[in-house]
């Protein structure tokens, strides 16, 4: 019984690590899609394809253990915040206070939305999982 | 034109979310293919939109409006309830998009 709980706990810890990784991949995806200049720059385009596959794979892996709503919320939140903060660093864009304010409103809104989408889906989807 | 590209990218991102859910950990080939194809189209259109939008701004609008679309479609076609929490989230996303547009940041 105790060993079972310990296994479950380490599974959860691993799933959360994979989820954070998926969030980081999503940031890489957003930045490289931007850097690809409409997929005309080969290096950034290839990096974008790799990040696209990595983020999808890591997210689907994490969502086997973590609740769909919570998982999506964390993943989307990391992706959007990361892109907003790193965009200016990589591409010399400027993040003015007004822009940062409205971005915060959007990101808080989508994270909240994903979180409030979670409990019902869990109840209906969990029994279907093997 | 960048808003048009972003709008179509949103539609395909909603398709990604729906087909990824049905792909069940990418074990079903048809839905997995649908996920990858619509993801590719969404990505390409997003990249065209990001020629004009700042990366952080375009990406945030894209992912959030797709999130709103998924919830609204869920309510319209899959019998999920639109409670006040979801409406609040949708309102925040819309307010943010409008705010970015009006402030000239998007």
**Is A119 part of the contact surface with chain B (CB cutoff 8 Å)?**
no
Residue A72: partners with Cβ closer than 8 Å, 6 or more residues away: A63, A114, A117, B67
CA separation, residue B81 to residues B74, B76, B86 (Å): 8, 9, 9
pLDDT in tens, B7-62: 999 999 999 999 988 888 788 999 999 999 999 999 999 999 999 999 999 999 99
Q: How many residues does chain A have?
A: 130
Whether A1 shows a pLDDT value over 90: the answer reads: no
The parent domain of residue A14 ranges over 2-128
Q: How close, in Å, is residue A4 to chain B by CA atoms?
A: 24
Q: How close, in Å, is residue B26 to chain A by CA atoms?
A: 8
Q: B90 and A127 in contact (C-beta within 8 Å)?
A: no
pLDDT in tens, A12-55: 899 999 999 999 999 999 999 999 999 999 999 999 999 999 99
Q: How many percent of chain B have pLDDT more than 90?
A: 80
* A54 contacts in chain B (CB < 8 Å): none
* A113 contacts in chain B (CB < 8 Å): 64, 67-68, 71, 86, 89-90, 92-93
Best mutation target among B17, B34, B45, B55 (most A Cβ atoms within 10 Å) is B55
Q: A90 and A30 in contact (C-beta within 8 Å)?
A: no
Domain ranges of chain B: 2-102
């Amino acid at each position: 019984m105790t060993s079972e709980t310990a296994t479950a706990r380490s599974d959860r810890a691993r799933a959360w690590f994979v989820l954070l990784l998926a969030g980081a991949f999503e940031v890489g995806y957003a930045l490289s899609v931007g850097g690809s200049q409409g997929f005309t720059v080969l290096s950034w385009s290839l990096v974008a394809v790799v990040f696209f596959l990595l983020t999808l794979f890591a997210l689907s892996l994490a969502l086997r253990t973590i609740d769909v709503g919570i998982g999506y919320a964390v993943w989307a939140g990391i992706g959007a915040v990361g892109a907003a903060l790193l965009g200016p660093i990589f591409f010399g864009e400027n993040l003015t206070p007004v822009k940062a304010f409205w971005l915060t409103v959007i990101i808080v809104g989508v994270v909240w939305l994903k979180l409030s989408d979670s409990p019902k889906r869990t109840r209906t989807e969990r029994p279907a999982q093997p | 034109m960048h808003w048009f590209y972003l709008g179509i990218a949103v539609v395909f991102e909603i398709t990604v979310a729906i087909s990824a859910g049905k792909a069940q950990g990418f074990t079903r080939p048809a839905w997995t293919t649908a996920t990858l194809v619509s993801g590719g189209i969404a990505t390409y259109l997003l990249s065209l939109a990001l020629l004009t939008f700042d990366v952080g701004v375009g990406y945030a609008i894209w992912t959030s409006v797709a999130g709103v679309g998924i919830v609204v479609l869920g309510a319209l076609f899959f019998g999920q309830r639109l409670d006040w929490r979801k409406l609040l989230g949708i309102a925040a996303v819309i307010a943010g998009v409008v705010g970015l547009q009006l402030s000239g940041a998007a």
